[in-house]
Amino acid sequence: MLLISDVHGAWEALAAVADTDEPLLVLGDLVNLVDYRTMDGILAEVFGRPLVEEVSRLRLLGRYDEARACWQAASAGREDETRARLGHLLGESYVRAAAALDGADAYVTYGNVDHPGMLEGSLPSTARFVDGEVVEIQGWRIGFAGGGIGPDDGAPGIVSEQEMAAKLAGLGDLDVLCTHVAPAVRQLSHDVVAGRPKGSAAVAEFLQERRPAFHYFGDVHQPQAVEWRVGGTRCRNVGYFRATGRGLRHG
């Protein structure tokens, strides 16, 4: 089986890896809200690139309240129009994702920039939305827990540590854990470009307690290490697919 994460709108590359005879596990962040390398994406289409650049600068400095205030000021007085435009562009993105995955034996969970309801509703019949559940694939017992953990409170793709812990508790013993978010282990969760950690303490605790053989995840685009051991678990970042266009084969 192949694993990918952080597609962020790379539809042609997604279609290419989906066009195989093996299962494809997609670990979230299908849509491209903003590419921090180029400042392209849905948010730039709605708000313009200068605002996206300013918000990105504030987030890089850890000034999340100010960044949030920028978004609010930009949509003040036209909230319904902005919401509708964002929803339309997200919907278009998920239509393209579905077309790329059509015919593939795919298992898809969501990331922090995704809208899980829209993602689930858009998938083709050959693809399965998975979150907080266990699936047996090629003889491996694989658990999925979607969502990101971060400062964007209220975003559809963000879950709390408590919510993540509850999802994980329902999975039980596994061979493989698949999440979008990294475990809260500095080598895996610290983005060397963004300069901040993006990991989950709940995921790290699950690895220590349940000790699955493998843990796959994405979310961190420029990690200190793409692979690390946490207790008895081999952990591997399978992104950044938008940049690499490559899937990782399990094992």
Which pLDDT score is estimated for 197? Answer: 78
Structural domain includes residue 114: yes
Domain count, the chain: 1
Amino acid present at 126: T
Q: What is the pLDDT of residue 195?
A: 65
In a domain, 70, yes or no: no
In a domain, 160, yes or no: yes
Identify whether 136 is part of a domain: yes
Q: What is the pLDDT of residue 153?
A: 63
- Angle among Cα 78, 30, 168 to the nearest 5 degrees reads 105
| 231 domain residue, yes or no | yes
In whole angstroms, what is the distance from residue 227 CA to residue 249 CA? Answer: 14
The verdict on residue 61 lying in a domain is: no
In a domain, 96, yes or no: no
Position 101 in a domain? no
Q: How confident is the prediction along the chain (251 residues), in pLDDT tens digits per residue?
A: 999 999 999 999 999 999 998 999 999 999 999 888 888 899 999 999 898 889 888 887 878 889 888 888 888 888 899 899 999 999 999 999 999 999 999 999 999 999 999 999 999 999 999 999 999 999 999 999 999 998 776 689 999 999 999 999 999 999 999 999 999 999 999 988 766 778 999 999 999 999 999 999 999 999 999 999 999 999 999 989 999 999 999 98
Look up tokens 């854990």; give the residue: 177
pLDDT of residue 67: 85
CATH number at residue 149: 3.60.21.10
CA-CA-CA-CA torsion sign (50, 55, 61, 66) = positive
105: Cα separation from own chain's centroid: 19
How far is residue 177's CA from residue 169's CA, in Å, rounded to a whole number?
Answer: 12
Res 38: pLDDT: 85
How far apart, in whole angstroms, are the C-alpha atoms of residue 18 and residue 30?
14
d(CA 74, CA 46): 10
Six token digits for residue 19: 């066009």
DSSP letter assigned to residue 225: -
Range of the domain at 137: 2-30+106-249
The three-state (H, E, C) secondary structure of 122-140, written as one string: HCCCCEEECCCEEEEECCE
pLDDT at 34: 85
